[in-house]
Amino acid sequence: MKNFEKSIAAYKEAVRYMPGGVNSPVRAFSNVEMDPIFIERGKNQYLYDIDGNSYVDYVLSWGPLILGHADDTVISALKETIDRGTSFGAPTLVETKLAQTIQSIVPSMEMMRMVSSGTEATMSAVRLARGYTGRDKIVKFIGNYHGHSDSLIVDAGSGLATLDINTSPGVPKSITYETLTVPYNDVEAIQRLFENFGDEIAGVIVEPIAGNMGLIPGKKEFLQKLRELTTQHGSVLIFDEVMSGFRCDLHGAQGLYGITPDLTTLGKVVGGGLPVGVFGGKREIMKNITPEGSVYHAGTLSGNPLAMTAGITTLTQLKEEDYSNISRKLDYLSEKVQASANRNGIPFTIRHVGSMWGYFFTDGTVENFDDVQATNKDNFYKFFNYAIRNGLYIASSPFETSFLSTKHTDDDIEKTIQVFSDAFKTM
């Protein structure tokens, strides 16, 4: 059993200075009845804490580190870049290079803007959809999470779902009034919404593969319906691929499903572990951004050279990657873990898309937020406690997704299957 003494002391100190001792609530291990673990370093698929414990990491900084921690190529590119300075607030060649690299992988992004987080990317995409259409209403889906901007923390997943809140004090009602929410994967509900409000809807934002209420892939007919309705009503379709981008497939969910949105938002993997978000899409829409157009967007550190370098180096390596290797490992993991749950009589469902994976303690179907709410969360938290004490660093909430990196080995997978099996026996 692991000793967490130094992390416990570090957390006592941290809570004096930061609310909950953290800089993002999902790190606080709410609900899992232990203090968060303080990290000392990471290398490839492994994480090392300040007490000297090591973990096979399936959080990977909540998604970005598809090449694992401190990938040698990314680190050496960063070292070379940092000697020339860290930020200029003026154009650099690396910004165009990252844009070209992204476009070669996600061709629907005819033009784009770099920002510093996924939140900024989705916030700016929503403003652009409103500015472009001259309409105010935005549609989002219950349990999807698009960062913490005012318009989008309505019926949201991730930390809000973990903490059991559906929006936040401080967001004016007049703003959330313009955000319409409907159940995910519900073709009839979205059809009805468009019948009632169609011509007032500026845009629809969706996680095409939802990863913030556990992992729930969008159904193809649902995403096709969104494409059809937005086209019909002159609304902007925004695929929020902050999580799914370069993860479910090199070309994101839009590549996987063959459905092209008007705008796409990216984050996480696109920054290779440094702070990057991107929004982009049709030239006709993007040219409305300042200074070409009048929809305002800016950022002191947008397009930061270190962040661009990490992104370019990561994406360039991913272009050479065979994603089926990742899928094969998760196919095997899923098959073995599911079989073990069945043998132990534990209601359980495990799934993955590309390098995103997740599980629910239920044997029912899980297609939307209500379905997740009906799963057995006590078992989830019991499993988490067992896993972390036995060397797996894994998403700490049923409203999150776990990830795999290109560095995880067959041995890591075998160890992980064993931890699941042993944990099931204790339940």
Ligand X SMILES: NCC(=O)CCC(=O)O
Ligand Y SMILES: Cc1ncc(COP(=O)(O)O)c(C=O)c1O
Q: Which is nearer to ligand Y, 131 or 277 (CB)?
A: 277
Please report whether residue 280 would count as binding ligand Y according to CB under 6 A. no
Q: Which is nearer to ligand Y, 274 or 417 (CB)?
A: 274
Of 15-23, 239-247, 254-262, 367-375, the segment contacting ligand Y by CB under 6 A is 239-247
Give yes or no for a cis peptide into 172 (omega within 30° of 0): no
240 is catalytic: yes
Q: How far is the CB of 8 from ligand Y (least distance, A)?
A: 27
Strand 46-49 versus strand 39-43 pairing type:
antiparallel
Measure CA of the first residue to CA of the last residue in the chain; give whole Å. 18
* Nearest residue to ligand Y, scored by beta-carbon proximity: 118
Q: How far is the CB of 22 from ligand X (least distance, A)?
A: 9
Of the residues 240, 249, 371, 412, only one is catalytic, namely 240
186 is catalytic: no
Which residues sit opposite 264 in a β-bridge? 239, 280
Task: Select from 21, 68, 131, 147 the one that contacts ligand Y (CB under 6 A).
Answer: 147
Task: Select from 151, 185, 212, 313 the one that contacts ligand Y (CB under 6 A).
Answer: 212
268 is catalytic: yes
Q: How far is CA 190 from CA 36, 206, 407, in A?
A: 39, 12, 40
Q: What is the 3-state secondary structure (H, E, C) of 175-199?
A: HHCCEEEECCCCHHHHHHHHHHHHH
Please report whether residue 230 would count as binding ligand Y according to CB under 6 A. no
Q: Which is nearer to ligand X, 81 or 397 (CB)?
A: 397
What are the residues binding ligand X (CB under 6 A)?
24, 26, 62-63, 145, 158-159, 212, 400
Task: Select from 44, 45, 101, 122 the one that contacts ligand Y (CB under 6 A).
Answer: 122
**Burial zone of 105 (CB within 10 Å; 0-12 exposed, 13-18 middle, 19+ buried):** middle
Please report whether residue 402 would count as binding ligand Y according to CB under 6 A. no
Q: Which helix (H) or strand (E) holds 357?
A: strand 356-360
The identity of residue 417, as a single letter, is: I
* CA-based nearest residue to 73, from 344, 362, 309, 319: 309
Q: How far is the CB of 274 from ligand X (least distance, A)?
A: 15
Q: Which two tokens stand for residue 230?
A: 């937005």
Q: How far is the CB of 271 from ligand Y (least distance, A)?
A: 9
DSSP type of residue 295: B
Which positions are catalytic?
A: 145, 240, 268
**Rule CB under 6 A: which residues touch ligand Y?**
117-119, 122, 145-147, 207, 211-212, 240, 242-243, 267, 277
